[in-house]
């Protein structure tokens, strides 16, 4: 059963109206579960996330396709001129916190899951997860539960705003802290004493990193380009009149498959005097071969879609080794901004794309199974 356009828009607006800042997703989880159950979809809870099933049963050996998107949003930022939870419609735009990232994907995936209720070639699992914006705890729970049940997805579709272009690769995230050390001294006497100022040492290291990256350095991934490094948080000093003995910079490093995190860290270490401390190395880059059936089906579902490599993170990072794509309605550039919006046309196109993608995969799996039987 396919949701009428008016019902899909109403669903999306209700999803936007239900606040779900990371850590407070429960009301939206309950609403989503109730909506799916009313439309005949089997729903269960996995940790703090929602898990829904439709189509052929995975236990019968049908390939399992996992649809994954997140219910949580970032907090409201300054600058909104509208009520961020009103889901106001103005012209073709639906405004609201999360309307674009990623509640348009959520509503469109719910609609596609309902439409696939009679599918027999593939099993579809819809994971609407918690806490993606902070630490991706929900998807980690889903991955662990699938492993516990002995279920391995044949393919994964991550719902994020991509303009319905298809991300077949995604950069990883390495978080480093650059620590420069000096010698504390009274600011009035530091120069005469020859005390090393950690702030100056940190500044020299940051300039050295900038010079390194400005040149042609590091291997190039065909889809993702080179690794990038950006200082994002600087700290140091204890008082206005004391030369700091220590200064720190957090480095946000977006990594690519062709360069290991160890290799990138070694390149940086060659040009800095300070210590490089690893704060996080859990989110590695991922890539899906473009000749796989998942990508082919996505292109059949939307021939005009571009294949590209994404610089932004998503829960695609948890599916290394599994065919996975990131695709959804809306535009990434609107995310986490005041007066966030998605258009009605984008929302409807997103649901239509997901529905066609499931249909393409369902047919392909059915044909493959029939050929297997005949052989």
* Catalytically active residues, by annotation: 132
Residues 250, 229: Cα–Cα separation, whole Å: 10
Give 225's DSSP letter: B
Residues 6+ apart with CB under 8 A from 81: 338, 339
> First-to-last CA distance in the chain?
34
* Closest by Cα among 147, 144, 167, 142 to 157: 167
**Where does residue 215 rank: exposed (0-12), middle (13-18), buried (19+ CB within 10 A)?**
exposed
Q: What angle do CA 311, 220, 173 make, to 5 degrees?
A: 35
Distance CA 365, CA 202 (A): 57
Q: How far apart are CA 29 and CA 127, in angstroms?
A: 11
d(CA 150, CA 153): 10
Q: Cβ(36)–Cβ(114) under 8 Å?
A: yes
Q: Quote the CA–CA distance of 318 and 323 in Å, as a whole number.
A: 11
Angle at CA 202, nearest 5°, toward 199 and 206? 140
Give the tokens for residue 291.
């000749």
Instruction: Name the helix (H) or strand (E) containing 236.
Output: strand 228-236
Q: How far apart are CA 40 and CA 8, in angstroms?
A: 16
Q: Could you tell me whether strands 64-70 and 155-158 are parallel, antiparallel, or unpaired per DSSP bridges?
A: parallel
Distance CA 205, CA 53 (A): 52
Question: What is the Cα–Cα distance from 203 to 212, expressed in whole angstroms?
Answer: 14
């Amino acid at each position: 059963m396919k949701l009428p356009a008016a019902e899909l828009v109403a669903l999306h607006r209700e999803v936007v109206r239900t606040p779900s800042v990371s850590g407070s997703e429960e009301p939206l989880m309950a609403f989503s579960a109730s909506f799916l159950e009313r439309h005949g979809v089997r729903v269960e809870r996995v940790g703090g996330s929602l898990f829904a099933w439709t189509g052929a049963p995975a236990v019968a050996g049908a390939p399992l396709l996992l649809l994954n998107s997140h219910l949580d949003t970032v907090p409201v930022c300054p600058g909104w001129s509208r009520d961020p939870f009103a889901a106001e419609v103005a012209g073709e735009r639906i405004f609201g916190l999360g309307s674009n990232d990623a509640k348009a994907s959520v509503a469109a995936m719910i609609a596609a899951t309902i439409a696939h209720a009679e599918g027999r070639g593939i099993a579809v699992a819809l994971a609407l997860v918690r806490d993606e914006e902070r630490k991706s705890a929900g998807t980690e729970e889903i991955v662990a539960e699938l492993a516990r049940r002995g279920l391995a997805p044949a393919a994964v579709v991550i719902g994020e705003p991509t303009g319905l272009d298809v991300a077949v690769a995604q950069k990883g995230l390495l978080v480093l802290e650059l620590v420069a050390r000096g010698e504390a001294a009274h600011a009035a006497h530091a120069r005469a004493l020859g005390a090393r100022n950690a702030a100056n040492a940190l500044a020299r290291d940051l300039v050295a990193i900038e010079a390194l990256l400005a040149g042609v350095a590091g291997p190039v991934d065909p889809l993702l380009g080179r690794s990038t490094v950006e200082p994002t948080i600087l700290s140091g000093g204890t008082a206005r009149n004391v030369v700091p003995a220590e200064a720190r910079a957090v480095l946000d490093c977006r990594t690519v498959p062709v360069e290991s995190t160890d290799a990138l860290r070694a390149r940086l270490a060659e040009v800095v005097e300070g210590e490089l401390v690893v704060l996080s190395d859990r989110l590695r880059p991922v890539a899906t071969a473009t000749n796989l059936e998942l990508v082919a089906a996505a292109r059949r579902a939307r021939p005009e879609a571009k294949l590209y490599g994404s610089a932004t993170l998503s829960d695609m990072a948890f599916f290394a080794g599994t065919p996975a794509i990131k695709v959804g309605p809306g535009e990434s550039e609107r995310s986490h901004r005041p007066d966030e919006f998605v258009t009605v046309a984008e929302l409807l196109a997103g649901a239509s794309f997901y529905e066609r993608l499931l249909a393409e995969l369902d047919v392909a799996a059915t044909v493959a199974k029939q050929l297997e039987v005949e052989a």
